Amino acid sequence: MTPPVFTPECGYIAPLLLAQKGLLPTVPFPYPMFLIGLGTMAAPLDPHPLLQDYAHPQKVVTSQWLGAKLGTPDVRVVESDEDSLLYDLGHIPTAIRIDWRRDLSDPITRNVISPEAFAQLMREKGIRREDTVVIYGDHSNWWAAFAFWVFTLYGHPDVRLLNGGRDAWTRAERETTFAVPENPESTYPVPDVCTTGLISVGDLLESYESSQLIDVRTPEEYRGGTSDDASSSTVKSTLRTGHIPGAVNIPWDSTVYPNSNFRSMDELCEIFGALDSSNPTVTYCLTGERSAHTWFVLRYLLGWDDVKSYYGSWAEWGNMVGMPITRGGRPL
C-alpha cells in the first residue's frame, strides 16, 4: 500500500486523492517525528503490537499509551459523548469536553460549525494547531469518531482516537477526575476546509449509481417500511424510510468488539470483503455520526483511499422531494 503524504490543506492523505486534487506529495510517512507544516508531530506513535496491523496505526492509541502521556504539554485529550453529562461523572485527567450538539453543530443551520467557529472553539479549549489531539467517548467512540471527522474536515494535522474509548479507560480502572482543566487560550488559525472525507447531497445524487454505498444503520432502518416496522428514530426524523438504491447494509457497530475496541485487521477485512477497496465509497447513516465511525474504519484502519462520509445522511435524503429510495433487505 502506498504511504500517505502531508499537504498543508488536508494533513496526511493518500496519493490517489492527491492526484485527484492536483497536489504533489511533500513529506513521506511514517516516521516517529516528522514535519507537519507548523512544526513536528507533538507525540510519538503508539507502538502497541495490536495497532501495527492497521493501515494507519498513527491514528489510534491505547489507554496504556495515553496514560503515559497525560500532562504532556503537546497532547490534548478531548471527551466527546452522546451523553455529554458523562463528563461530569468523571473523565480522564486533563481531558476537556467538546459537546457535539453545542460545540460542533451550527446553532441555526443543520451543518457543522464554520471554519471561523472551529478556530474559536480551539482557542477557547486551549488547543494549538501543532498539538496532538486524542479523542475518546462513549458508545464505542460513536460520537468521538464524529468529532475526529470534524477535526479532519478542518485539517488538524495530528488527531487520534483512543481505542475502546471511555469504556477502555474505565474497564482498566484507570484514574478519573472531576477537575476541569483551565488551559490558556491558544492562537489557533482559521483553517481551510478539507473536503476529501465529505460528500454533499448534490454530488451524491449525481454519483450514487456509480459509487459504492454503505448504509451503516441498523437492519431495521435499512429495510424501511411503515412506522410500525421501521426504526422509531428514523420515523421521527424523516418523512420516508428505506435506503439509497444500491447501498449495502453493514451496521457501524459490527466493526467493534463488545468491549468497544476496534476489531482486528483480519476481521475488518472479512466484514468488508465483498466490497472493492479501490472503488469510490460513501458511508451514511441517519444524521452523519455513525457514518463517520465507519468512515474512520475504512479510511484509517483498512486504508481505503477514496471514502467519504455523507454528513446529510438519511435525515436529508429521506426528507427531500423526489429522491430515489429503495425498501427491503436488498440493495436494489
CATH of the domain at 188: 3.40.250.10
Q: Indicate whether 185 and 205 sit together in one domain.
A: no
Which of 153, 172, 193 finishes a domain? 193
Return the pLDDT at 22: 45
Q: Residue 71: its pLDDT value, please?
A: 92
Q: Verify that 135 and 10 share a domain, yes or no.
A: no
223 and 182 inside one domain: no
Q: Are residues 13 and 92 in the same domain?
A: no
Domain assignment present for 68 = yes
Q: Is 227 in the same domain as 290?
A: yes
Q: Is residue 120 part of a domain?
A: yes
323 found inside a domain: no
What is the reported pLDDT for 29? 34
Instruction: For 24-33, write each residue's pLDDT tens digit.
Output: 343 333 333 3
Active site residues: 285
Average pLDDT along the chain? 88
The pLDDT score that the predictor gives to residue 237 is 76
Residues 78, 11 share a domain: no
Verify that 73 and 45 share a domain, yes or no.
yes
180 pLDDT more than 70: yes
Kindly state whether residues 94 and 239 are assigned to the same domain.
Answer: no
In a domain, 202, yes or no: yes
Whole-number percent of the chain with pLDDT over 70: 84
The reply to whether 156 and 217 lie within a common domain is no
Is residue 17 pLDDT above 90, yes or no? no
Residue where one domain finishes, among candidates 193, 225, 244: 193
Residue 6 is part of which domain span?
1-30
Q: Determine the average pLDDT of the residues in 51-59.
A: 98
Query: Is residue 321 predicted with pLDDT exceeding 50?
Result: yes
pLDDT at residue 266 in the model:
98
The tens digit of pLDDT for each residue in 103-137 reads: 999 999 999 999 999 999 999 999 999 999 999 99
Distance between CA atoms of residues 46 and 152, nearest Å: 20
Domain boundary, last residue among 159, 174, 193: 193
Task: Looking at the structure, tell me whether residues 43 and 189 fall in a common domain.
Answer: yes
* pLDDT level of residue 98 (50, 70, 90 thresholds): very high
User: Are 163 and 202 found together in one domain?
Assistant: no
Domain for residue 330, yes or no? Answer: no
Nearest partner of 265 among 57, 15, 11, judged by Cα: 57
The band of 16, judged by pLDDT with boundaries at 50, 70 and 90, is: very low
pLDDT at position 332, please? Answer: 86
pLDDT of residue 228 exceeding 90: no
Total domains, the chain: 3
H/E/C letters for each residue in the chain? CCCCEEECCCEEECHHHHHHHCCCCCCCCCCCCCECCCCECCCCCCCCHHHCCCCCHHHEECHHHHHHHCCCCCEEEEECCCCHHHHHHCECCCCEECCCCCCCECCCCCCECCHHHHHHHHHHHCCCCCCEEEEECCHHHHHHHHHHHHHHHCCCCCEEEECCHHHHHHHCCCCCECCCCCCCCCCCCCCCCCHHHECCHHHHHHHCCCCEEEECCCHHHHHCCCCCCCCHHHHHHCCCCCECCCCEECCHHHHECCCCCECCHHHHHHHCCCCCCCCCEEEECCCCHHHHHHHHHHHHHCCCCCEEECCCHHHHHCCCCCCCCECCCCCC
Is the pLDDT confidence value at 234 over 90? no
pLDDT (tens digit, 9 = 90+) per residue, 236-268? 679 999 999 999 999 999 999 999 999 999 999
59 in the same domain as 158: yes
Q: What is the mean pLDDT of residues 177-189?
A: 97
324 domain residue, yes or no:
no
| Residues 267-296, mean pLDDT to the nearest whole number | 97
Question: In this predicted structure, what is the pLDDT of residue 263?
Answer: 98
Considering the domain boundaries, does residue 292 fall inside one?
yes
Residue 331 included in any domain? no
What's the average model confidence in pLDDT over 5-26? 41
